Structure 1
Amino acid sequence: MNCYGFQKTSSSIAPGYVISPLSRVNSKKLYITLRIFKEKSSGDWHVHFGVNGDPEPVGYFPKTLIPGLIDKPLEISFGGFASHLKPLPSPPMGSGYASISGNAASFTNLKLIDAEGNEHIVNVDLPSNVDGKGCYTPSKIESAQFYYGGPGCTD
């Protein structure tokens, strides 16, 4: 809820909430669906969220909050973020496994849905922005998915 002006419509979830329970290695996987789209008639940006099912409305960003996106191309990005009060050691991200592991956290079924409602599978690798220390390194995007995260760094 750090974005002033976000109009919350859900009583159960909002941006910034901690998602619980979490998937664990060697146990049942939970799947999160996040959908952000520009509503055609109002121009507002709606956020929908779901765990192991269809996403439900969370709220929206009124178009007046982001006037630069009214008629301009949109940039999309996917990823993770890890934060800690002390600089080292850095905390794990995702499952704590490196992106080369089959146990790493992942984004799957990556799509861009255009203003007409047409789905476009994201099947090309996108530029990555990493911490510079090699603590967290994403895999390449293949078959509309990629892996990310890592154990963190101690030096």
Structure 2
Amino acid sequence: FAYHYSATWPDGYYGFIGTMDVYGFPLSKEQGSAAAVWIHDEGDFATTSLRAIMIGWDNDGFTTTGCINTKCPGFQPQKGAGIAPGDVIDHVTFPKQLIKRNLNLKIIKNGSSGDWLVHCGLDREPELIGRFPRSLFTGGFADRAKSIGFGAVAYGPITKPTPMGSGYLPTDPKSAASISNIQLVDKDGRVWPVTEDLPKSETNRNAYAATPIVSGKFYYGGHELPKP
């Protein structure tokens, strides 16, 4: 993992806006790599109390509920939407390519229905593509999120490291992947640009890392073997 996260706020969070670079490279069956946004409720820190939306959802730490994309009932697609969770993106960005493809995301909690509305646009303004109904969730997450995280995850054999982001560590912004235009939404629907750095977590910064947030943007990635 290499990601930033918002501090717990008494009034909670009601949405996220951001832009991700879209990269592609061949992976083997035992490898996985993703840029991600986690909108979640911490619960009492027991696994079964974890509730989250990841374009995928769960209500108990994936113990008995939830799935990724549309592999189980939950996400309700918007009729006529041009893109859907799980769609294949053609013509992705490759490392060090000058022109990057961007995935623009907006996830907002609807004030009247309480549903989490998902907007997405590839190289364009995000459109409504569907929703996670309020009825999927229990506890505080039915009303708000306690925290929002954004960054990336990669997994695979330690002897065959998996690329994260563009595959490059974020020491060179021209080569590394980024998440930009980061904004958080409050209970009144007001949008707050993230202008200062937020806490971050890196499982091994020598292998996968994220830079500080500057003006709503940070770089992340890597693929090196973990070093002692």
**TM-score (ref. length: structure 2):** 0.60
- For 1:69-89, what per-residue CA distance to the aligned partner results, in whole angstroms no more than 9, with x for missing partners? 2334531111012233x3322
> 1:150 corresponds to which residue?
222
Q: Which runs of 5+ in 1 are unaligned?
A: none
Distance between the aligned counterparts of 2:168 and 2:159, measured in 1?
A: 18
- 1:55 to 1:46, Cα distance in 2 relative to 1, 3 A: same
Which one-letter code corresponds to 1:31 in the other structure? N
Aligned counterpart for 2:183 among listed residues 111, 118, 121:
111
Matched pairs, number: 154
> 2:126 corresponds to which residue?
55
> 2:92 corresponds to which residue?
22
- For 1:110-154, what per-residue CA distance to the aligned partner results, in whole angstroms no more than 9, with x for missing partners? 001223231101122222222236311100011110000013327
After superposition, residues 1-155 of structure 1 pair within 5 angstroms as: 2-3=67-68, 4=72, 5-9=74-78, 12-24=82-94, 25-68=96-139, 69-84=141-156, 86-102=157-173, 103-132=175-204, 134-153=206-225
TM-superposed deviation, 1:48: 0.8
What secondary structure, in the 3-state scheme, does the structure 2 residue paired with 1:59 have? strand
- For 1:41-89, what per-residue CA distance to the aligned partner results, in whole angstroms no more than 9, with x for missing partners? 10000111111111122211111112332334531111012233x3322
Which one-letter code corresponds to 1:66 in the other structure? F
Identity among equivalent pairs (%) = 38
Q: Which runs of 5+ in 2 are unaligned?
A: 1-55, 57-66
**TM-score (ref. length: structure 1):** 0.85
What secondary structure, in the 3-state scheme, does the structure 2 residue paired with 1:81 have? strand
RMSD: 2.2
Normalized per residue, which structure has more strand? 2
- 1:125 to 1:18, Cα distance in 2 relative to 1, 3 A: farther
Higher relative contact order (CA 8 A, sep 6+): 2
Q: Is residue 93–residue 152 contact of structure 1 (8 Å, CA) maintained in 2?
A: no
